[in-house]
Structure 1
Amino acid sequence: MKKFIVISALFLSLAGCGNSVPELIDAEKSDKKLIIVTTLFPVYDFAKSVGGDMVEVTLLVPPGTEPHEYEPTASDIININNADVFAYTGGFMERWVPGILGSVTNKNLEAVNMSEGTEIVEGDPHIWLDFDHDRIMVKNIADAIVRKNPENKNYYEKNLEDLLSKIDKIDYDYKMTISLCKSKEIVYGGHYAFGYLVRKFGLGYIAAQGLSPDSEPTAKDLIELTNQVRKNSVEYIFYEELASPKVAETISNETGAEMLLLNNLESLPRDEIASGKTFIDAMYENLNNIKTGLDCK
């Protein structure tokens, strides 16, 4: 008989609600694949790339959802408890993780803080936007997968090598492209998500909002940013995918600057994930828009 490891009180609280219970992860999968639960899209994609056909990977934060203020549902907690591996980006974005890990009953759960070993800037959770960090993150998830399934170590290590090669290639492509840019400053009509990337490649960076997408710019902030765009003859202003583009639109309307997407990859739309778009794919799309926006020949 199939059985599910559950947290009883939470399951009962679900049953007492009018809504149906979301689909749960089966703790005794017949195909014996490792069950990996991840929080954000970069972690999800890295786990899939390393684990390949040997793993079943679940993304907790629904596609297209802003994750900064996300709170796990009862079914999310049950799925974490039923997993072999639970991977998250760190303590700044997923502040709820310590409480969840303190309540799970699955003593064999391998919890992976993907930021372990990275150089974190205080308060900035967007560690995956530095390729040096990505190399560490993919090794962290690979180590966890191997610990849970050592008999397939060679398979996972080959996948890791392939992924590291792709990271090396895109890192080089960013470096070469940005070295040819006439403009060296990104004007971003969203929250301050690209600090790691601009520091790595020596770019200037002006963002309309702080580290949280909920922080609204004041009228004074918008006026100053609009004046700066005019003064510097900025031709393109970037906007983010998950948040409203109204700030970028306002500046664009006032200055005539065109708008370009710069995706911080906290999440992707459901159809893009379903189509198989990877972290590397999305970062190349960002690079193409940076090439246009900063006039890189």
Structure 2
Amino acid sequence: MMGSVRILALGVLCALAIVLVGCSKKDEGRTPAAHAGMSVVTTLFPLYDFARNVAGDRAEVTLLLPPGMEPHSFEPRPEDIVRVSRASLFVYTNRAMEPWAADILKGVGGGGPTVVDASRGARLLAAAGIHEHGDHHNEGDHHDGPHDETRMDPHLWLDFANAQRMVDNIAAGMAERDPANREAYLANAAAYKAKLAHLDERYRQGLASCSSRTVVHGGHFAFGYLAARYGLRYEAAFAASADAEPTPAKLAALVKRIRTEGVRTIYTEELIDPRTAETIARETGAAILPLNGAHTVSRDDLARGVTFISLMEKNLENLRKGLQCR
């Protein structure tokens, strides 16, 4: 019954969006002159920052989700469909992270923006089978070809090799839509990928010699890619969905592991209720430090121009501190 109501609501939403788009045609040219009419709508903050670096001053890049909004909690509004329909490029991560993206594109219909699935060709981890040891994967845990995205861990940008692939996908979409500036987009992408490669090397060196290699996280399972890339063990209090809740058994297991392994730090995630981490910290005496998954940022962070790389540099600082790295 709820499914039928949702489908009906989406139908009404899409119909309203089509009417609004038709009424808004006269405003389509109102983009800054410096952007030559090319506009890019991105869903999540990493895509927004990647696209800004690739576009330079040749496109207007905007973020679809309001600052601080959890992707899983987002419900498209008629004006969101209008924004996407009027864009030159629409960039999203994958169906697991933004299941509502397909609904937006259905509302847009034919003749809309060039659509970029930023996860195309990325190395993905299965959502199941990585919850116990971030540095161990059974055969089949990695996926490079066609895949069922709904069964994948969607936080792929936290593997910086994947982040570079996402930049390539965005650059290819921009070059397809605006071939006159193809070389500029590809050059900008190459320059930004070099920065991501340097960040990757800093993580490898910075996390190579640590007293602890266990990252305990009092939030949802968001840092599996980061842990896997740098040989860390990763434990999260609850599953990949930000709406999930930890079970008493899971909390007890985390407390036991912290005590057994002498873990001194538990991490919290940005814009997520810290009460679970605080509860575990009270039970164990562990300190609390933040980690940022970067899928969303606060309004203040967005206003002051925070970047994906600056967020990751702060993560490295806190990981080195919490893991007691030399």
TM exceeding 0.5: yes
* Aligned-pair CA distance for 1:219: 1.7
Matched residue SS, 1:68: helix
Partner of 1:257: 286
Residue of 61, 64, 69 corresponding to 1:65: 69
In the alignment, the residues of structure 2 paired with residue 188 and residue 25 of structure 1 have an alpha-carbon distance, to the nearest angstrom, of 50
Aligned residues: 283
In the alignment, the residues of structure 1 paired with residue 163 and residue 26 of structure 2 have an alpha-carbon distance, to the nearest angstrom, of 28
Matched residue SS, 1:189: strand
Q: For residues 228 and 26 of structure 1, do their structure 2 counterparts lie closer, same or farther at Cα, with a shift above 3 Å needed?
A: farther
In the alignment, the residues of structure 2 paired with residue 26 and residue 129 of structure 1 have an alpha-carbon distance, to the nearest angstrom, of 38
In the alignment, the residues of structure 2 paired with residue 88 and residue 25 of structure 1 have an alpha-carbon distance, to the nearest angstrom, of 27
**2:167 matches 1:138:** yes
Partner of 1:20: none
Partner of 2:54: 50
Residue of 265, 270, 277 corresponding to 1:241: 270
In the alignment, the residues of structure 2 paired with residue 26 and residue 125 of structure 1 have an alpha-carbon distance, to the nearest angstrom, of 35
Partner of 1:117: 121
Q: For residues 26 and 286 of structure 1, do their structure 2 counterparts lie closer, same or farther at Cα, with a shift above 3 Å needed?
A: farther
**2:38 matches 1:34:** yes
In the alignment, the residues of structure 1 paired with residue 78 and residue 43 of structure 2 have an alpha-carbon distance, to the nearest angstrom, of 15
Task: Give the counterpart letter for 1:259 in structure 2.
Answer: I
Q: For residues 26 and 92 of structure 1, do their structure 2 counterparts lie closer, same or farther at Cα, with a shift above 3 Å needed?
A: farther
* Aligned-pair CA distance for 1:165: 0.8
Residue of 16, 40, 61 corresponding to 1:9: 16
Check the 8 A contact 2:85/2:112 in 1, yes or no. Answer: no
Deviating 4+ runs (over 6 angstroms): none
**2:228 matches 1:199:** yes
**2:93 matches 1:92:** no
Partner of 2:204: 175
Partner of 2:295: 266
In the alignment, the residues of structure 2 paired with residue 11 and residue 106 of structure 1 have an alpha-carbon distance, to the nearest angstrom, of 11
Check the 8 A contact 1:25/1:79 in 2, yes or no. Answer: no
In the alignment, the residues of structure 1 paired with residue 178 and residue 19 of structure 2 have an alpha-carbon distance, to the nearest angstrom, of 33
In the alignment, the residues of structure 1 paired with residue 185 and residue 253 of structure 2 have an alpha-carbon distance, to the nearest angstrom, of 50
Matched residue SS, 2:73: coil
**2:79 matches 1:75:** yes
Matched residue SS, 1:244: coil
In the alignment, the residues of structure 2 paired with residue 61 and residue 69 of structure 1 have an alpha-carbon distance, to the nearest angstrom, of 10
* Aligned-pair CA distance for 1:132: 1.0
* Aligned-pair CA distance for 1:108: 4.8
After alignment, is 73-82 or 60-69 more displaced?
A: 60-69
After alignment, is 237-246 or 268-277 more displaced?
A: 268-277
* Aligned-pair CA distance for 1:100: 2.1
Structure 1 gap segments, 5+ residues each: 1-6, 14-22
Q: For residues 98 and 181 of structure 1, do their structure 2 counterparts lie closer, same or farther at Cα, with a shift above 3 Å needed?
A: same
Superposed CA RMSD:
2.1
Task: Give the counterpart letter for 1:272 in structure 2.
Answer: D
Describe the superposition over 1:173-211 as per-residue Cα deviations: whole angstroms up to 9, x where unpaired. 000111111111100000001111111111101100101
Check the 8 A contact 2:40/2:88 in 1, yes or no. Answer: yes
In the alignment, the residues of structure 1 paired with residue 43 and residue 311 of structure 2 have an alpha-carbon distance, to the nearest angstrom, of 18
